[in-house]
Structures are given as C-alpha cells and as structure tokens.
C-alpha cells in the first residue's frame, strides 16, 4: 500500500472496504465454538467493538476511548463496544437490515456482504449493531453517522473468557462527544503513528494490588503523548486488533518494529472487575 493513501479522504475508505471484503473472516466458526463451549458449561462472553476511522486535519485517525476508573480494565485505551445483548441487538439488527439506515461506504446495503455466506453475514450485522449500540451509549456516536467498512477476525481474551468481534466503520461527520461514566475521554490517534517506530515501546504490566511489584508480562505497545506532558499507552487486545487491521490493509508496508524503550503500566486493583 502507498502510505499516501492515509491522507486521501475519499480513496482510503474504498481501499479499506475492498481489502476487508476479501480477507478471511472467522465469525461463524468462532461463534459456533463459543455456543458449544456454553453447552458444556463454560461462561464465555461475546462482545462487538467498533474500530472507528475519522478524517481530521487532512489525515485519518482512530477514535478510541480511555476507560474510566469506574469500570473493569480501568485506564485502558479501547474501541467503543461491549457485551452482546442478544435479544436487543438481534432486534436492532433486523431494523438495521430492513431500513438500510447503515450502509457500506460505497452506499451498498448490508443485505448481501461480499464474499460471505449468509450465516457469517448475519453475525457481522449482529455484532455491528452491538458495537454501534455501545458506541451510542459510550460516546454519543449516532449509527446514522457511520459507514460500514468491513469486519476483522475475532480476538479472544483468556483472562476475561471473552471473544471480541471487531467491525470497522467510518465516522462521516464531526459530532459532539457525549461520554458515559465508562469513558474518561476520547483519543484520536493518527494512523501514521503506527508507521513510526518512535511511538512504539515495550510495556511492563505490573500488579496494582500493593503486595507485589512483579511484572506479569511484557508486550509491545504504542505510546501516545497526551499534550500535557504525560503519555497514554495503547496495549493488549486493542493494540492487537488495530495492528491486525493494518496488516490486512497495508500488507508489507506495515510491521510492528522492535521497540527501543520500556514503559510500565500498573493495573488497578479492580482491573479484572468493577470496583466494589
């Protein structure tokens, strides 16, 4: 991919739509596996998230949220989204399909998604509605203000017994953020940051329980200046979902570089669950 595409307002979304439309997708297989595991007694959850692209100041950015201290995974940067509410999201998905209120960026309806069997297409629409409902609740993004770009392979979290089903959307017009209690702020991270090695680091994940300073693990991350002399750290599931998106879209033009520095992230004591 020619990196100049990242600055082309009209061409880049169509390029993304084409790339994601031809990429393999595992929604049907993963969903079936989860259904079978539940039948065997597992409590595995499913969640839809929206990878939001927005054109600002002559370049594309990811619109992400920083999770507030009142929720699990406090302080993490994540895509808007949350747990599937099956009956609600199926009902809203039927409305979405019948009214065509959300379309692909080339104005195609979502009735027949390219290169997908009907079961997979139905799951894509379900998790799209799931993600858009959550984006409305968390940041005030109207479903009428998005164009569908495609879906990404699922991503499973073993710590939380949860699988994330990401969908990618274009935010068409500027809007006023209306943050719920779950979101501390919205971050807009330029796509070009992911192509510059200076923004990468290794993050050391450290217990915040106060009884140990031992490192849980190390992982690559993206470090984003917040404009006030501090830094936000993008790591974990969201980092991996976004870098997977860039691998699909950019091909050989993208790779995660070897970080030259290390940063530390201390997990909140209630990181794996809401504070009491």
Sign of CA dihedral 148, 144, 123, 62: positive
Listed by start position, the domains of the chain span 3-194
Distance CA 90, CA 29 (A): 19
Range from 13-17, 211-215, 237-241 carrying the lowest mean pLDDT: 211-215
**Per-residue pLDDT at 13 exceeds 90:** yes
Domain 3-194: CATH superfamily, name plus number:
Nucleoside Triphosphate Pyrophosphohydrolase (3.90.79.10)
**Per-residue pLDDT at 106 exceeds 70:** yes
Range from 68-72, 101-105, 256-260 carrying the lowest mean pLDDT: 68-72
Q: Could you read off the pLDDT of 19-45 as tens digits, one per residue?
A: 999 999 999 999 999 999 989 988 899
Question: Which pLDDT value is given to residue 217?
Answer: 82
Beta bridge partners of 205: 217, 265
3-state secondary structure of 148: strand
Question: Which pLDDT value is given to residue 212?
Answer: 53
**Per-residue pLDDT at 219 exceeds 70:** yes
Question: Which pLDDT value is given to residue 207?
Answer: 75
Distance CA 111, CA 12 (A): 23
**Per-residue pLDDT at 235 exceeds 60:** yes
Beta bridge partners of 263: 203
Q: Could you read off the pLDDT of 112-165 as tens digits, one per residue?
A: 788 889 999 999 999 999 999 999 999 999 999 999 999 999 999 877 789 999
Confidence bin at 214 (pLDDT 50/70/90): low
Measured between alpha carbons, how far is residue 249 from residues 101, 212, 243, 274 in Å?
26, 41, 10, 36
**Per-residue pLDDT at 255 exceeds 80:** yes
**Per-residue pLDDT at 178 exceeds 90:** yes
Q: Could you read off the pLDDT of 42-73 as tens digits, one per residue?
A: 889 999 999 999 999 999 999 999 998 878 78
């Amino acid at each position: 991919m020619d990196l100049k595409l990242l600055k082309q307002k009209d061409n880049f979304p169509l390029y993304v739509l084409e790339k994601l439309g031809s990429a393999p997708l595992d929604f049907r297989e993963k969903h079936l596996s989860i259904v079978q595991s539940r039948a065997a007694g597992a409590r595995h959850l499913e969640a839809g998230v929206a990878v939001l692209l927005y054109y600002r100041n002559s370049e594309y950015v990811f619109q992400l949220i920083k999770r507030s201290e009142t929720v699990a995974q406090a302080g993490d940067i994540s895509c808007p989204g949350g747990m599937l509410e099956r009956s609600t999201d199926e009902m809203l998905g039927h409305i979405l399909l019948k009214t065509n209120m959300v379309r692909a960026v080339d104005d195609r309806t979502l009735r027949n998604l390219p290169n997908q069997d009907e079961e997979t297409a139905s799951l894509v629409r379900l998790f799209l509605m799931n993600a858009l409902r959550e984006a409305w609740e968390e940041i005030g993004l109207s479903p009428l203000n998005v164009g569908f770009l495609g879906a990404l392979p699922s991503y499973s979290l073993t710590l939380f017994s949860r699988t994330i089903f990401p969908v990618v959307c274009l935010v068409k017009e500027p809007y006023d953020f209306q943050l719920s209690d779950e979101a501390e702020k919205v971050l807009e991270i330029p796509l070009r940051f992911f192509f510059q090695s200076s923004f990468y680091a290794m993050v050391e994940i450290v217990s915040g329980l106060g009884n140990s300073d031992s490192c849980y693990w190390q992982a690559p991350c993206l470090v984003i200046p917040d404009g006030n002399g501090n830094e936000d750290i993008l790591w974990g599931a969201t980092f991996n979902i976004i870098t997977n998106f860039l691998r699909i879209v950019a091909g050989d033009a993208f790779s995660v570089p070897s970080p030259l520095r290390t940063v530390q992230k201390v997990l909140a004591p209630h990181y794996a669950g809401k504070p009491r």
